[in-house]
Structure 1
Amino acid sequence: MNGATTSGELRAHNRVRLLRAVHDGGATSTRSHLTRELRLARGTASVLVAGLAEDELLHEEPAQEHGRGRPTQVPGPHPRGPLALAADVREDAWELAACELGGRVTVLDVRPHDGTAEGALVPLGETIAAHTSRLGHRVIGVGVALAGPVRFGGLADIAHLGWRSVDVPALLGLPLRPAHGAGGGGATLGNDTAFAALAEARRGRLRDVRVGLHLHVDFDLGGVLVVDGRPLGGASGTGAEFGHMPLEGGDRPCMCGATGCWGMDVGANALLRHAGLEYGGGRGREQAERVLATSEQAVAACAAALGRGVAALVNAHDPEVVTLSGHGPELAERAGETLLRACEPRLMAIRRDHPPRIEGSALGWRGALLGAMESVFDVFLTPEGLGRWRDNHPDQGRDTPGRRNVTHSTPKGDQPP
């Protein structure tokens, strides 16, 4: 039951269902397909699409012809429709993008930073403010992925950059919005691994997977359990921290305050350490990528450590699929046999009989950015969110021009849709 008790509430509920289906399907499904999928009457679907087009939320284009039959339309993002701003703040740079309904991305800016909280977040906040001013009412919120745990209240800790209890909303100059709250505008903050896992569950290899494990390998390693399409965030929102479990049995101190963290043996820092190069502090990305491409010994050591940790987590959580993002897919590709040899003997017999698939992410490095986008649309695609859009929308009823084509990777400086 959806809880609707009046015709108006049912209509609002169906508007959300239709927009959600368009968004989750990448704006590729025909109106006929959506009508069948959502079990709507044809007339009801027509009325809903017409109303959403009038509100400048949807725009239809003709579907490609496939033989005989009545032509149908493909509902997609309106050229003046809602945009989520999404940012991925990594240890050495950040990327900002505008994202349409359906998930298409226009990169707005990519900048390196000096590793300090002020040096990273203040320029990002200024850039967000400039694009928000330019795009006006179309901006429905901002999602920000950060390379470390984010506690309730927007406090971020990125140990190897020396960030401790950093007030991210204050430095960005944005109010904080709860990830699943009813408020409009503001910023939704999250750990990059958790956001990458959310995107993988919506648009990647964890889609329709009941229990999955997602591991993101960058300078070090993060991991999170995904249940029914949702990363488990923990009591304070900092649950995506499998990289700080002592799965390797080492005793080296980690900058997080613990000792023997698994993430110290997997990722760019570990590759640099194995190659005898300086590491830590978000430095050496290019050198680490060269080590990844050329040093079989360093790659094998990281892959073996990854495999041993995967076995422990599989024994504990019994996932159907393990997905890898960041450097993880390349580690698996270059040293897959080493990874499996380290993993399989450590699996319980009942796990070894039916081991989970270990697969590279379908989204590459874009996962955290897409997850930040999803966090914004999750708040917007509600009756309350659509109601705010309609109340604040100044241009309803204008003629609808043809939709522009936006790619997943347009050059820096291009105008968003």
Structure 2
Amino acid sequence: MSGATTSVELRAHNRVRLLRAVHDCGATRTRSQLTRDLGLARGTASVLAAELAGDRLAHEAPAPEHGRGRPTQVPGPHPDGPLALAVDLREDGWEVAACELGGHPTPLGSAGHDGTPADALGPLGEALRGHLARLGHRVVGVGVAVAGPVRAGGLVDVAHLRWRSVDVPALLGLGATVPKVGNDTAFAGLAEARRGLLRDARVGLHLHVDFDVGGVLVVDGRPLGGAGGMGAEFGHMPLTGGSAPCMCGAHGCWGMDVGANALLRHLGLAYGGGRGRARAEQILARAAPAAAASAEARAVRACAQALGRGVAALTNAHDPEVVTLSGLGADLYERALPALVEPFETGLMTIRRERPPRLAASALGWRGPLIGAMESVFDDFLTVRGVEAWRRLHT
């Protein structure tokens, strides 16, 4: 129920519904299709589309020719419309993109850093302030995906970098623009639910593998964050029987056996502190075919096996319909699938083996955290309050 009690409130509610539908479909559906989807009268949809164009919220373009019949329009982003600035802040670098209604990201820049808060967040803040100054009136929010648990107020812990309670919003220094900071895997799970293979799943499990592994349970399109927003730290569960101390403070963490750090450790190479991503990618590339006897292939198989065992344990616990893998997880799926699947299948309870979840590599690749950061901004904006604030500012 919308809660609208007047014609003005109902029109505001329907404006948001139409904008939300345009965004969720990636600006691919015609006005006629959206009208049917939303149960609107044709005249109402026409009036709403005109209002959105006048408010610089959306713009209609002719649909591609599809034969005889009445021409129709496809609502999409306005050339001067709302933008979300999205950031993927990794352990060794960051990337910034501007995302318009419909979810299309345009890269704005990237840089490496030395792993310290000052070197990571100082230049990033400077870059964001420059984009805000240039795009100012169009930016409706900034979303930042970070490779670590995030507490209230944007306080971040990144164990591998020895970050403890780092105040990301304060160090970015964006003034009145308060960034929305979230865990990278939770944002990747959100992106998978909106733009990927979890879109139609009622219960899905998303795992993002980078220097280690993170995961989140996605229920009805929403990642479950826990009571304090720091839930689903699956990489810090003892799922593979190890006992080595992790930099998070626990022992035997699953993330010790899966990811770039694990690959490097298997080969006796230096790891930690955000070092070695390129080397880990080279190891994966050299490991093909998966049955090869090289040290690189053995390291990749060990990593894939540990990933499979952990996925089986989480499947037994959560009963997902689909399990999606992004980052290096997608590479392990593509290059060492037999090594991943065997411990996954044998680790399942008998009742789970009857209808196991589908395992799949994410179609979003490494873009999940960035796209999820964008979605978090538009989730806040695509409300009656957010859209009406835009209209007041631009009319």
| Structure 2 portions without partners, runs of 5+ | 287-295
* Secondary structure at the counterpart of residue 129 of structure 2: helix
- 1:205 partner SS: coil
Give the match's secondary structure for 2:98. strand
Q: CA separation in 2, counterparts of 1:290 and 1:363?
A: 21
Partner of 2:217: 225
SS at match of 1:186: coil
Letter in 1 for 2:211: F
Mapped pair 1:342 → 2:343:
yes
Aligned counterpart, 2:72: 72
1:6-405 equivalent positions in 2, closer than 5 A: 6-174=6-174, 185-294=177-286, 295-393=296-394, 396=395
Please tell me whether the aligned partners of residues 193 and 240 of structure 1 are also in contact (alpha carbons under 8 angstroms). no
- 1:4, distance to aligned residue in structure 2 (A): 1.0
| Conserved 8 A contact 1:149-1:240 | no
Aligned amino acid, residue 209 of structure 1 = A
Measure the CA separation in 2 of the matches of 1:88 and 1:331: 22
> Residue 175 of structure 1: CA displacement?
6.1
Deviation of the 1:279 alpha carbon: 0.6
Q: TM-score, normalised by structure 1?
A: 0.91
What's the offset of the Cα at 1:74? Answer: 0.5
Look up the equivalent residue of 1:96 and give its one-letter code: V
Structure 1 position 174, deviation (Å): 3.3
Letter in 2 for 1:375: S
- Whole-Å Cα distance in 2 between the matches of residues 333 and 364 of structure 1? 12
CA contact (8 A) 2:203 2:218 kept: yes
Q: Distance in 2 between matches of 1:82 and 1:123?
A: 25
Please give the alpha-carbon distance, in whole angstroms, between the structure 1 residues aligned to 2:89 and 2:264: 22
Q: Which one-letter code corresponds to 2:299 in the other structure?
A: A
Q: 1:145 Cα deviation (Å)?
A: 0.2
Q: Give TM-score, length-normalised by structure 2.
A: 0.96
How far off its partner does 1:149 sit?
Answer: 0.5
Structure 1 counterpart of 2:384, which letter?
P
User: Aligned partners of 1:300, 1:78: CA distance in 2, in Å?
Assistant: 48
For the 8 Å contact 1:222–1:242, the answer to whether it is kept is yes
8 Å CA contact 2:141–2:377 kept in 1: the answer is yes
Query: 2:154 & 2:317 partners in 1: Cα distance?
Result: 30
Q: Distance in 2 between matches of 1:103 and 1:318?
A: 30
> Which deviations, in whole Å up to 9, do the C-alpha atoms of 1:258-283 show, x marking residues without a partner?
00000110000000011111011100
Work out the CA distance in 2 between the residues paired with 1:240 and 1:55: 40
- SS of alignment partner, residue 91 of structure 2: coil
TM-superposed CA distance for 1:291, in Å, is 1.1
The aligned amino acid for 2:358 is R
Between the aligned partners of 1:9 and 1:208, the Cα distance in structure 2 is 31
Letter paired with 1:389: W
Shift of residue 186 of structure 1? 2.1
Q: Secondary structure at the match of 2:320?
A: coil
Q: Kindly provide the CA deviation profile for residues 77-99 of structure 1, in whole angstroms up to 9, marking residues without a partner as x.
A: 00000000000000111000100
Report the 3-state secondary structure (helix = DSSP H, G, I; strand = E; otherwise coil) of the residue aligned with 1:257. coil
The letter for the 1-side match of 2:250 is A
Whose RCO is larger (CA < 8 A, sep 6+)?
A: 1
- Structure 2 letter corresponding to 1:86: A
Q: What amino acid maps onto 1:22 in structure 2?
A: V
Alpha-carbon distance in structure 2 between the residues aligned to 1:229 and 1:132: 30
Q: Secondary structure at the match of 1:141?
A: strand
Question: How many residues were matched structurally?
Answer: 386
Compute the displacement of 1:240 (Å).
3.1
